[in-house]
Chains A and B, each alone.
Chain A
Amino acid sequence: MENALKCDPYNLIIAGVGGQGNVLASRVVGDMMIHQGYKVTIGETFGASQRGGSVMSHLRISARGGFSPQMPKGKANMVVALEPMEAIRVLGTYGNPQVKMLCNTRPIQSVGVICGDQVYPEAKQIVQWIESLTADAKFFDTTHEAAKLGNPIFGNIMAVGALAATGDLPMSLKVFKDIISKKIPADKVEVNLKAYQIGRSLIGNR
């Protein structure tokens, strides 16, 4: 097998808030990689809060395998953030000057923000911070685009599409189609394919 990874292991973090479909997105990427012969470890934390808490998946993609489900600090190669505040949180622990970022700009306010104890940072400020901590960052409003498809949850698959468009990982439409058809009910495949395609086209749009 030819190793098409930019580095080995390729360390990907998919972050968001409970309820955004983070876990499915990480499984889809993981399955796509395994389908092509790679070894994948995915670590994720869920359980305490079904919704509203920070959720993070660590994907360790490699030709040889054996990596920990918890990524060591400062080792992310790519961060896909389904929520902007979570993007910053991830960089705090796993960021490094070479890391790349794909970031949904639509905030999900935490309870602390709702009740006035915390301040949600301004959109411009978030972009500036993320740019200062990454080598390359792209921003898009997947929530908005996904809502047009009927449900903001499709933002997760859109983000997977955007990840594919970066070319960092071998992620063809055909492999995506094979994988998603096995993972979700048949009547949902079409809309997910659409979400994936929209995600691919979002790269570069500010």
Chain B
Amino acid sequence: MSSILLENKKGFEALLMGNDAISRGALEAGVSVVTGYPGTPSSEIVEQLAKVAHARNLYVEWSVNEKVAMEVAAAGSYARLRSMCVMKQVGVNVAADSLLHIAEYGIRGAMVLVSCEDPGALSSTNEGDSRPYAKMMEFPLLEPGDFQEAKDMAKWAFELSEDIRSIIMLRSVTRLSHASGNVTMGELPVVSPGARFECSGTPMDQMIGPILAFPTLIDSQRRRQLEKLSKAAAAFEKSPFNTYTGPEKPELLIIASSACQLYVREALSILDLWSRVGLLKLGTTWPLPQKLLGKHLSINERVLIVEEGTPFLEDNIKVLAAENAKQVGIKTFFGRKDGTLPPVNELNPDLLINGINHILGTTYQPVSDAYSSKAKRITAVGAPDRELTFCPGCPHRASFWLIHDVFKLDNRSGFLCGDIGCYSLGAAPCGFSTIKILQAMGSGTGMASGFGKLDQFGMEQPVMAVCGDSTFFHAVMPALVNAVHNQSDMILTVLDNSGTAMTGFQPHPGTPVGATGISLPMVDIEKLCRAMGIQVEVSDPFDLKGTRKIMLDLLENGGSPRVLILKQPCALSPGKKGEKKFEMSIDETLCLADQCGCNRFCTRVFKCPGLIWNTEKKITQIDEVLCVGCGVCADICPTGAIIAGEAR
């Protein structure tokens, strides 16, 4: 079971996930330093490279957050190593301050920023599009259009970065990162990099001077960076990643980037329009290849622009068309802005088919009306949506049950500020809709710090924030320091499940291992909080009674920030998986069901998927396949019908 990433037969073809293709491209480019912070759909890149770190002599780390990841990768570059920094779209916002300065100064060893974005917010709290950073901060942007390109463009990004000495952003999307396709491998190079930071020259000696963002240097540094952009634009004019398919003089030109180009191809094949419509697939999307675009714009009157995210290409191509109006003439543009394609959400082949039909007046019906109305009717009753829920045995279910419960007992309209992780589901019915504010990484604690200072305006509601252990280190710490220093009346509950659970148990500073599995010292959340001068309590969320009492005491004794750490590993954590603490069973004589007065509390309110309601017998049963034996439900049954027995 050796990693496919190490396969060194040139021309070997394999099924690779987009993220693995990017990892492979980085290896083929001779990357040495790899950093990142986990986030769907980006996490596999650092994970897979960590697995081959030893074999390929890489330094790979999960950094505390994206900004630090960017700085650690930049250190590699400044020491003349090839480095890569990987994150999801929101991470680029966290890293943006450093990114601006790294872009402005330039790099030494190649440096590639990989942003894996999530159009449609399939597993995000937003649909952020990081591409505008490339324009705003003046660095080149690449968008691979398929799996082979993900590999090839990742490799090329390093070469381009070193050619022009600028950071390069490689932007992927969920349908590329988490999809898979054929990839033909290139060679893995033999590299023996040496690291040294040169700082003997003057501040304008990019390769040997000190790296300084001084006010007096900015004018020259930005001019230097703009020259690099011109070089990139020249390279993009000839890039094999920009291709045209279609007739010489089509009725409609489609310009598409990223996985969208696959949707366009599919739509044109289904509609049988390849003789009438042309596709200009752009892999290099900032700076735009002006001559190439000018050539295509001048022979097409109608242009449809297809991209994931905001109308970034659309706006910039329109500017280009305006600047070159004399040569290219007046165009009619279609895209996300005029409603040909939806202004939000991810695209797919069907949306493209609709959009093209709208422009050309063509029609298409995938199945007969009779079939589709029958299918619709059956699906409506036969396949109700599966609501997202916590896993069976998830400690968060117990934690949110407790928080929900104590706020009710406290009776002062207390509320909970949430954060980013599996526990964001605390805002959903499975978390008893306890979370009332949910935004960015760390913002739950920052908000709670703010709410906790509003007593002078008459605010009397108690406020609590929750965060996970990884999030605590990522962005909660500064917010907590703020709460301590300003003596905000708030409680932070840390849901410590011993890993970055949502994205697949990546280690973080609070765990005793690093990305590659090496032993590392763990930073203790409890000690950190105590060192900040905060009152800290620690409990097990599965101990409902004990934890409830602690929570009520904390709620009563307000006035300053307090921290409660709820420790219980994730039910899916590698150390716990398959290990049942208890063998759960139902005493059918004790379950009074509808006569109980509990109103089927366990299955209607607590709702662990390990519990099922037997509609014939009218009692609760344990789902042997799903139950992980955490034992929590035994404590919530008023008649004691749920029995936590010895694990077999």
Contact = CB atoms under 8 A, between A and B. Distances in A.
Interface stretch (A72-80, A158-166, A169-177, A192-200): A72-80
B262 A69 contact: yes
Contacts, number: 193
B607 A115 contact: yes
Interface range on chain A (Cβ under 8 Å from partner): 35 or more
B41 A111 contact: no
B378 A96 contact: no
Contacts of B353: 72
A118 interface: yes
B524 interface: no
Given A70-B263, A72-B266, A116 B600 contact: yes
A121 to B, nearest CB: 5
B477 interface: no
A109 B612 contact: yes
A133 B375 contact: yes
Interface in B297-323: none
Given A34-B15, A51-B391, A88 B122 contact: no
B613 interface: yes
Interface stretch (B174-182, B197-205, B545-553, B583-591): B174-182
A46 B375 CA distance: 25
Given A48-B388, A97-B367, A110-B386, A121 B381 contact: yes
Contact of B383 (A68, A92, A109): A92
B182 A39 contact: yes
Contacts of B572: 50-51
Contacts of A89: 379, 383
A110 B265 CA distance: 37
| Residue among B15, B385, B430 facing the most chain A CB atoms (10 A cut-off) | B15
Contacts of B623: 109
Contact of B179 (A41, A48, A49, A73): A41
Contact of B146 (A42, A48, A66, A118): A66
Interface in B371-428: 371-372, 374-376, 378-379, 381-389, 391-392, 422
A42 B181 contact: yes
B1 A183 contact: yes
A204 interface: no
A126 B379 CA distance: 10
B40 interface: yes
A126 B13 CA distance: 41
A200 B626 CA distance: 26
A68 to B, nearest CB: 4
Contacts of B430: 111
B606 to A, nearest CB: 9
B386 A112 contact: yes
B349 A70 contact: yes
Most buried by A among B14, B41, B263, B350: B350
Given A68-B349, A111-B386, A39 B265 contact: no
Interface string A129-151: 10011000000000100010000
Contact of B378 (A39, A71, A75, A92): A92
Nearest to B371: A97
A70 B175 contact: yes
Q: State the main secondary structure of chain B at its contact with A.
A: mixed
A49 B180 CA distance: 20
Given A66-B146, A184-B1, A92 B375 contact: yes
Interface residues of B, number: 67
A12 interface: no
A88 B382 contact: yes
A47 B122 contact: yes
Given A68-B349, A89-B379, A111-B607, A43 B179 contact: yes
B539 interface: no
A115 B180 contact: no
A45 B389 contact: no
A91 interface: yes
Contacts of B48: none
A67 B179 CA distance: 11
Contact of A95 (B348, B375, B391, B625): B375
A114 B40 CA distance: 29
Contact of B384 (A73, A110, A183): A110
Interface in B323-367: 348-350, 353, 366-367
B619 to A, nearest CB: 13
Interface in A26-79: 27, 30-31, 34, 39-54, 65-75
A45 B178 contact: yes
Interface in B589-648: 600, 603-605, 607, 609, 611-613, 623, 625-626
Q: Which of A47, A68, A133 has the most CB of B within 10 A?
A: A68
B243 interface: no
A47 B41 contact: yes
B312 to A, nearest CB: 21
A177 B182 CA distance: 20
A102 interface: no
A176 B607 CA distance: 39
Nearest to B605: A115
B366 A133 contact: no
B122 A48 contact: yes
A41 B181 contact: yes
A44 B15 CA distance: 14
Interface in B146-178: 146-147, 174-176, 178
Contact of A53 (B349, B388, B611): B388
B275 interface: no
Given A42-B15, A116-B604, A96 B388 contact: no
Contacts of B182: 34, 39-40, 65
A85 B383 contact: yes
B270 interface: yes
Given A40-B15, A51-B392, A152-B625, A112 B367 contact: no
Contacts of B57: none
Contacts of B146: 66
B259 interface: yes
A9 to B, nearest CB: 9
B593 to A, nearest CB: 12
Contacts of B178: 43-47
A187 to B, nearest CB: 11
Greatest chain A CB density within 10 A among B175, B180, B600 is at B180
A132 B374 contact: yes
A27 to B, nearest CB: 7
Given A72-B267, A91-B379, A111-B429, 11 more contacts: A27-B15, A42-B180, A46-B178, A53-B386, A67-B266, A68-B175, A95-B371, A114-B603, A114-B613, A129-B382, A132-B374
17 contacts: A31-B15, A41-B181, A43-B175, A47-B40, A50-B502, A51-B572, A53-B386, A54-B386, A68-B348, A74-B367, A85-B383, A91-B375, A92-B376, A108-B626, A114-B609, A116-B604, A133-B375
| A-B residue pairs, 3 tightest by C-beta | A47-B123, A92-B379, A74-B366
